[in-house]
Amino acid sequence: MSSTRNQRTFRTQRTPRTLVAALALLVAVAPSLAAQAPLATISTRNLAASSLPAGLPDSPGSLISSSRDASDMDATAPDDLDAPQTTPPPSPQPPNARTKHSAHLAMTIAPNEIAQPMPVRDKVVGGLGDAVSLFAAVGWVASAGWSHWTNGSPNYGTDKGAFGQRLGATALRNISQDIFADCLFAPVLHEDPRYYIMGRGHNFFKRAIYAATRTVVTRTDSGHTTPNFARIGGNAAGAALTATYYPAKNTTFPEVAETFGGSVGGSALGYVVTEFIGDALQYAHLKKKD
């Protein structure tokens, strides 16, 4: 009987202390609960609309703290918080800017185009497409025709059959050079293999010099100027490979070195043509003005 009375007395004494502690805790957290109550509704609605993962923090304040600080949250009225959330407009682009979409032009950037960073896959695919493009095929015919007319390397002779051999050898050399340069060396060396047209805002001679020097000067993936090791290496590798299919006369070291020099010159000429081909087509009314 005495033990029961003691337990009741202990419970009577403990209950007020527990109640006082609970009330004190409630008073302490009440301002925080009052401030976050409207935010909880918004957070729940935003989470449902965007289907975010379930592992996000439960505190509504943690979802908004990245865009608002605590002082802004306390000063915001519930009506403002319930207003529909709008997505900020995208940053304005330069005038006349457009994003490239044509796959066969991915290796050439016009002055009014925005060049996105080029991942390894795009360098490989773009390089392969550029190596066998119509523009490249015209270059093969021109190179083989010049070699045939001057009876130069590769020395297959000057009859009709020799021109076919030269055309095949030229195509194989140019394709191998482009693959080495754009698909292999450019990704490894983190170089941008695309050609950036200077355009009509500059005089003819400046554009010509700029284009001709792109075979030895280019830019890195981050946009810095750098020696064009990828193109130089591609030309060297393609020239060295000719020793396996050129006539024996053209497989000695001096001949291979001459082939390499001709490849560098051919690349420079190709860049010059790329710089001005758009203007020429416009003057001939075969292309609309930009």
- What confidence category does residue 146 fall into, taking pLDDT thresholds of 50, 70 and 90? very high
pLDDT at 188 (0 to 100): 97
In this prediction, residue 121 carries a pLDDT of: 92
More confident residue, 56 or 229: 229
In what side-by-side order are the strands of the sheet with 191-192? Answer: 191-192, 217-220, 225-227
Question: What's the pLDDT at 237?
Answer: 97
Indicate if the pLDDT at residue 153 is higher than 50: yes
For residue 55, what pLDDT is reported? 39
Distance, CA of 217 to CA of 210 (rounded, Å): 9
Q: Which helix (H) or strand (E) holds 218?
A: strand 217-220
Rounded to an integer, the average pLDDT of 41-49 is: 37
Question: Strand 225-227 relative to strand 217-220: parallel, antiparallel, unpaired?
Answer: antiparallel
pLDDT of residue 106: 65
Is residue 139's pLDDT more than 60? yes
Q: What pLDDT is recorded for position 117?
A: 85
Q: What is the pLDDT of residues 3-19, one digit of tens each?
A: 444 444 444 444 445 44
Residue ranges per structural domain of the chain? 2-81, 102-283
pLDDT at residue 206, rounded to an integer: 96
Average predicted confidence (pLDDT) for the chain: 75
Rounded CA separation 19/12 (Å): 11
245: Cβ–Cβ under 8 A, 6 or more apart, which residues?
169, 172
The predicted structure's pLDDT at residue 290: 59
Higher-pLDDT residue of 77, 284: 284
Determine if the pTM surpasses 0.75.
no
